[in-house]
């Protein structure tokens, strides 16, 4: 029996995208196309390149898959509709939200909002990485919409959805290094708006209250950060290799995920596999990932965070570290993402 043909369009080259590509290539004839939306001046050329990719590859294909919704998903969804092919859009976070306070989210930008909405209306099915991206109440900050999710901003969308988590390889993330006491790490680009979206501003302020503790922020340098007064106990680490990142996780006691907005963040899962105790915001999948292994910040509030820190640092760290690793191993194993292939096969029937 010959393999079916999949068209896969993506706008990132992150680890989870590479894992999905590997899964698709192991099961189908996979034709890939990269669409870079970051340089707005070059977006028209990206559309032209994508037009010809679709023109030459739509014939004989069985499904069109796009990760994520935005400029890159409009033409694929349109072609799929015209040629009567199923179109699956993987939804990751920014494509389902609007946060005016930090100028973040597809639905906060008029032109991008339009392309996103068109794509959602044309698509057959959606694969959000967490159900909160469909429709959810939002209470972490007071400055943004109290409801988030694509159905909040596009209530007439007809396509169905299947929640699909990511999966993680426990053999790649180890808890076998001695940890620095009361050390905290987070990962996130330091430029605007990510400095605020990832809650790094809150971490910098917290660090001033705990001068004897060590805070590591991976993802940029002092030149990237939009504030000046960074305390001496905050170490800024530029982007590192994946192996170096694993080693950094393993040396820290706590992982901080104090994001304003997320979908299903991989970094916190990977850090927990390395024995980091999670402290995270009450946003999207974060509380579900943390479960009973760590601490959840209900609101973006420095006083609440100080209270949470005090509780965390007097907790049974050894027990929580062991629970954190086991929890991710049990609930989000590597083969969890095989459900992605099951869904693709179902849509092609």
State whether 203 and 283 are in the same domain. yes
State whether 201 and 306 are in the same domain. yes
State whether 146 and 225 are in the same domain. no
pLDDT exceeds cutoff 70 at 300: yes
**328 phi, psi to nearest 5 deg:** -70, -40
CATH number for the domain that contains residue 85: 3.40.50.2000
- DSSP string for 279-339: EEESSTTHHHHHTTSSEEE-SS-HHHHHHHHHHHHTS-HHHHHHHHHHHHHHHSBGGGGHH
- Domain count along the chain: 2
Q: What is the mean pLDDT of residues 296-318?
A: 96
The model's pLDDT over 114-156, given as tens digits with 9 standing for 90+, comes to 999 999 999 999 999 999 999 999 999 998 999 999 999 999 9
State whether 14 and 135 are in the same domain. yes
Tell which wins on pLDDT, 18 or 47: 47
The model's pLDDT over 59-115, given as tens digits with 9 standing for 90+, comes to 999 999 999 999 999 999 999 999 999 999 999 999 999 999 999 999 999 999 999
The model's pLDDT over 223-255, given as tens digits with 9 standing for 90+, comes to 777 776 889 999 999 988 888 999 999 999 999
State whether 216 and 323 are in the same domain. yes
State whether 151 and 175 are in the same domain. no
Report CA torsion sign: 37, 41, 43, 48. negative
Residue 160 near residue 123, CB atoms below 8 Å: no
State whether 160 and 220 are in the same domain. no
How are beta strands 214-218 and 180-187 bridged, if at all?
Answer: parallel
The model's pLDDT over 145-186, given as tens digits with 9 standing for 90+, comes to 999 999 999 999 989 999 999 999 999 998 877 899 999 999
State whether 136 and 76 are in the same domain. yes
pLDDT exceeds cutoff 70 at 206: yes
Residue 96 near residue 149, CB atoms below 8 Å: yes
State whether 144 and 175 are in the same domain. no
State whether 210 and 108 are in the same domain. no
User: CB within 8 A of 194, min separation 6: which ones?
Assistant: 188, 200, 219
Look at residue 220 in the predicted model and tell me its pLDDT: 81
Average pLDDT, the chain: 94
Look at residue 33 in the predicted model and tell me its pLDDT: 96
State whether 152 and 205 are in the same domain. no
State whether 280 and 315 are in the same domain. yes
Confidence class for position 5, pLDDT limits 50, 70, 90: very high
Helices 43-57 and 71-82: crossing angle in degrees, nearest 10, is 30
Residue-range definition of the domain harbouring residue 140: 5-167+334-348
């Amino acid at each position: 029996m010959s393999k079916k043909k999949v068209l896969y369009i993506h706008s990132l080259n992150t680890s989870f995208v590479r894992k999905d590509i590997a899964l698709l290539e192991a099961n189908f004839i996979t034709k890939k196309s990269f669409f870079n939306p970051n340089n707005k001046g070059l977006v028209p050329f990206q559309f032209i390149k994508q037009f010809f990719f679709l023109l030459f590859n739509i014939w004989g294909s069985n499904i069109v898959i796009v990760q994520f919704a935005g400029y890159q998903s409009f033409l694929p969804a349109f072609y799929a509709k015209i040629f009567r092919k199923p179109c699956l859009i993987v939804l990751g976070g920014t494509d389902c939200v609007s946060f005016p306070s930090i100028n973040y989210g597809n639905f906060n930008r008029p032109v991008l909002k339009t392309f996103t909405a068109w794509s959602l209306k044309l698509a057959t099915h959606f694969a959000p990485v967490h159900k909160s991206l469909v429709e959810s109440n939002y209470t972490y900050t007071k400055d943004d919409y109290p409801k988030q999710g694509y159905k909040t901003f596009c209530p007439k969308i007809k396509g169905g959805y299947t929640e699909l988590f990511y999966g993680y390889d426990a053999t790649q993330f180890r808890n076998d290094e001695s940890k620095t006491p009361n050390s905290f790490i987070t990962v996130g680009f330091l430029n605007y708006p990510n400095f605020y979206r990832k809650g790094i501003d809150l971490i910098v302020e917290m660090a001033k209250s705990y001068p004897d503790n060590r805070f590591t922020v991976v993802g940029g340098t002092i030149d990237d950060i939009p504030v000046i007064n960074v305390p001496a106990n905050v170490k800024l680490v530029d982007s590192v290799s994946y192996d170096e990142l694993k080693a950094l996780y393993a040396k820290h006691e706590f992982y901080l995920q104090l994001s304003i907005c997320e979908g299903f963040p991989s970094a916190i899962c990977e850090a927990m596999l390395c024995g980091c105790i999670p402290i995270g915001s009450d946003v999207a999948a974060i509380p579900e990932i943390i479960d009973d292994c760590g601490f959840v910040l209900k609101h973006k509030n420095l006083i609440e965070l100080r209270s949470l820190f005090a509780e965390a640092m007097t907790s049974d760290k050894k027990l929580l570290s062991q629970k954190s690793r086991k929890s991710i191993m049990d609930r989000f194993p590597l083969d969890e993402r095989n459900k992605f292939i099951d869904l693709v096969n179902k849509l092609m029937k």
